[in-house]
Chains A and B, each alone.
Chain A
């Protein structure tokens, strides 16, 4: 357990720094609040409303598809690097993997989940 003492120390220091900075800012910083300043910052445009609102179910579909194809690339990179060594075996394995992903994609396409209007 002694080996972890350094990590514990780091965690303690890391926890202290923000507390110290906030406390310092609380006492030192000048305060002139106004309504515009108090609104949420949204890339500089006027905020249109609360952040907590219902999202359309399509959002989740797109998010999941993004995730799936993002993870796909995580698997494709090592495959590409080791392409020569893996030879036919690699092609079969990655083929199964890609087939499963593309199958799901074509399935929701056929189901009309991508038709929006």
Chain B
């Protein structure tokens, strides 16, 4: 009897840690079934957008009140790392709801499911950022991924969208299998005693010598699984197609929120759970990071559509961020990655907002479509230039500071070759970002009218541009501010 009572008390006590997730899941559930037919009839579904925004705002409020601590038998933990990446995911979801309005209205595809899936995916990301157990990492990863598959294939009348969703789903399911197999090997190698990351780390340190190969195979498989999820070379093949075919607001979402959550789990798993066996994963992860920088940037040079270019650029940015995972000083690695990811969120959302604006009703996303934007819509073109230069990491913009702190840490940790590679490839990346700037300012505009800038898109562009410019002024102090992210 006392056993069950203790469980019940633990459940009630620990549920304080997950109040934001409870709100997200509860709201999405109510939206899907009982409320959908009652509140808003067919044709009024666009009213779900403000409801979703209210839910997201309340989630943010609840997050402020969540106490730090560990719970659910050590499966979930709220700390600086979890909070930091949860905020990034939340901001990304809010921006996505704003950016989606024009596309959903234009294609008459407003449904409650779209918003509910964003909320469910966000709850998965929240769990993933705080997961401290092999089982909870896997479950939250799946909760997040399944929702994103559905969102990628959301425009079910477009072959491209279906293709994106199916490709993403098949490769994602496959990589989940590899990840799960790797996790089970690690579980066995650690003696099959428990799946908590801290316990795993201790058990692996004391594992008998003959289980070395088991650990190595498990670590490699986990690396492959996570490599797929964050789209790092050579496990990136799904990402350009999925980014290209998915509805553009969802592409913006996919490039930021799930990536932030997966990177958080990456840091947590490799930094705390596998910290003791780092000699097994540092060489392969260095290769993955280097290959992502090189191939992401080189392949981006040859793209003619904006979405594919941003997809490859996102692969390259993941390569940079993985250098932070390589850091043996986990807390500092987490800080610089968080800073980088947060900065990347604003630049990326801003750039995608401009793409969505030019895209209109789903057509015209080639880089040539940016011709003459500097003359037609100077403010928008200026904002786009800020985002692109910041993505390229040109000083003194905000993106430069993200790269600077990351590269500095990598040098301090002794990854000189990798950092040199990162510097060279970010110089290459400046070429394709500047190519778009060139199109905007030095090419003649084609005939025909551009659509007016919608309020929602204008809001996102303004917010992102303001953060990028204001952040630039405070660049040198950013790392101190990010010091609150602890593991």
> Considering the chains assembled together, what is the distance between the CA atoms of A13 and B142 in angstroms?
41
Give CA–CA (A103, B25) in the complex, Å: 12
A73, B201: Cα distance in complex, Å: 36
Contact A89 B4 (CB under 8 A): yes
- B3 contacts which of A85, A88, A92, A93 (Cβ < 8 Å)? A85
CB contacts (< 8 Å) of B4 on chain A: these are: 85-90
* A107→B35 CA distance, assembly (Å): 11
Enumerate chain A residues within 8 angstroms of B37, measured Cβ to Cβ: 110
Q: Within 8 Å of chain A (Cβ to Cβ): is B29?
A: yes
A106 proximity list for chain B (CB < 8 A): 33
CB–CB A107/B33 < 8 A: yes
- Give the complex CA separation of A88 and B1 in angstroms: 10
**What is the CB-to-nearest-CB distance from B373 to chain A, in angstroms, rounded to a whole number?**
42
Minimum Cβ distance to chain A for residue B184 (Å): 19
Interface string of A67-88 (1 = CB under 8 A from B): 0000000000000000001111
Given known A-B contacts A92-B8, A92-B11, A87 and B1 have beta carbons under 8 A apart? yes
> Shortest CB–CB separation between residue A65 and chain B, in angstroms?
16
Could you tell me the distance between the alpha carbons of A88 and B10 in the complex, rounded to whole angstroms?
13
> Which residues in B have their C-beta under 8 angstroms from that of A88?
4, 8
CB of B32 within 8 Å of the partner chain: yes
B1 & A103 in contact (Cβ 8 Å cutoff): no
Q: B7 within 8 Å of A by Cβ?
A: yes
The CA-CA distance from A66 to B1 in the complex, in Å, is 35
28 A-B contacts (beta carbon < 8 Å): A85-B1, A85-B3, A85-B4, A86-B4, A86-B7, A87-B1, A87-B4, A87-B5, A87-B8, A88-B4, A88-B8, A89-B4, A89-B5, A89-B7, A89-B8, A89-B11, A90-B4, A92-B8, A92-B11, A93-B11, A103-B29, A103-B32, A103-B33, A106-B33, A107-B32, A107-B33, A110-B33, A110-B37
B interface residue numbers (CB < 8 A to A): 1, 3-5, 7-8, 11, 29, 32-33, 37
Known A89-B7, A93-B11, A103-B32; further 10 A-B contacts with Cβ < 8 A? A85-B1, A85-B3, A85-B4, A86-B7, A87-B4, A87-B5, A88-B8, A90-B4, A92-B8, A106-B33
